[in-house]
Amino acid sequence: MIDIRSDTVTGPTPAMRKAMAEADVGDDVYGDDPTVNKLEELGADILGKEASVFVPSGTFGNQLALFTWCRRGTEVILGEEAHIIVHEAGAASVIAGVQTRTIPAPDGVLTAAALKQRLRKQDLHAPATSLICLENAHSMGNVVSLAAMDEVRKTADQWKLPVHLDGARIFNAAAALNTDAKNIAARADSVMFCLSKGLCAPVGSLLAGTKDFVKEARLKRKIMGGGMRQAGILAAAGIIALTEQRSHLAEDHARAKKMAASLAHIKGVAVNSNAVDINMVFFSFPPASDPKQEARIMEIFAKRNILINPPDGGLFRFVTHYWIGDTELEAILDASREAFVL
């Protein structure tokens, strides 16, 4: 089966399975799990942060950041396509008890001008802004430049506000920007990043920041039911994700670019070529808006044992990852040439 619905589908590598089987474990709620402790130190070190805390998922890490930074009833500012607001099931209102306020953020970029229109101080009628959230790489396939991140940082500093980065794919962003992930992380006060997705660990994310922030997040993680006991079994795979898998992301990006170029040659396919910065290719094929055509397309891929998602808002999204090599890419392109015919 070739699965290009997302990079979240990546199964663990053989090295991860071995490390998981052999992991040295303890009770992490007591702080006794050596493998979790090692992962948390390694993750913080790679991002240039003082500390990090292991959490079950990216959504958990993002929501834990909001819960840790924000007083209930305050307001979080973020781009209108941010994962935190579009794909986290309204969690910010349930867990942190905050109000979210979006600004237009084409390609994931929040400008100082747009931010300043939304930031506000507490008064009798208005909630205070308590946090600004960024996303890099963006789940629409873009990376945000360091200069654009600087603009947000500067505005946040003027307003004495913290910045949280949803860095689910921070290492994809680092590879695409040809920079160290530390340079991206330095523009934010807290960073969530995923060990699953393109890095192939089966479970887990880290939330990084200062020692004080992480101490408070650890307490809030317990409140959220995220105190996991012998979690070293999972952390062992996370360590391999960080030590062995990061270097492969650039190959996924190269294959996505190759895929985008080939798809663009198919008549009727319009690739969103502005957004092929990482491992995702977004494209439209207008006939697929007809349910019969959509079903025909899905069937062609299914018959060839290729799993794709149906178009969302008129856009197909194909995602490359560690388990998509050159042979798989050729099979996907062959199926595409059969499926996308006018």
Ligand X SMILES: Cc1ncc(COP(=O)(O)O)c(C=O)c1O
Interaction of residue 252 with ligand X, rule CB under 6 A? no
- 250 vs 59: CA distance, rounded Å: 25
Measured CA distances, 329 to 219, 254, 340 (Å): 45, 11, 16
Which residue's CB atom is positioned nearest to ligand X?
58
Contacts with ligand X in 47-106 (CB under 6 A)? 57-59, 62, 83
β-bridge partners, 193:
206
> Is 139 near ligand X (CB under 6 A)?
yes
Cβ partners under 8 Å of residue 293, min gap 6: 287
- Is residue 313 left, alpha or beta, with left meaning phi > 0 and alpha meaning psi from -120 to 50? left
Q: How far is the CB of 135 from ligand X (least distance, A)?
A: 5
Judged by CB under 6 A, the chain residues 184 through 223 that form the site for ligand X are 194, 196, 205
Is the CB of 206 or the CB of 260 nearer to ligand X?
Answer: 206
Token pair 């007809």: residue: 290
Among 5, 8, 15, 202, binds ligand X (CB under 6 A): 8
164 binds ligand X (CB under 6 A): no
Cis peptide before 113 (omega within 30 of 0): no
What is the H or E stretch that residue 177 is in? Answer: helix 170-177
* Cα→Cα distances 200→9, 20, 42, 255, 321, Å: 8, 13, 17, 17, 9
User: Residue 309 interacts with ligand X (CB under 6 A)?
Assistant: no
Closer to ligand X by Cβ: residue 59 or 142: 59
Shortest Å distance, C-beta 313 to ligand X: 16
Among positions 168-187, residues that touch ligand X (CB under 6 A) are 168
State how far the alpha carbon of 94 is from the alpha carbons of 45, 71, 84, 88, 91, in Å: 32, 13, 13, 11, 5
Of 140, 132, 131, which Cα lies nearest the Cα of 168?
140
Nearer to ligand X, 63 or 262 (CB): 63
300 belongs to the binding site for ligand X (CB under 6 A): no
Nearer to ligand X, 8 or 122 (CB): 8
Can residue 293 be called a binding residue for ligand X (CB under 6 A)?
no
Residues near ligand X (CB under 6 A), total:
13
The yes or no reply on residue 135 touching ligand X (CB under 6 A) is yes
Enumerate binding residues for ligand X (CB under 6 A): 8, 57-59, 62, 83, 135, 139, 166, 168, 194, 196, 205
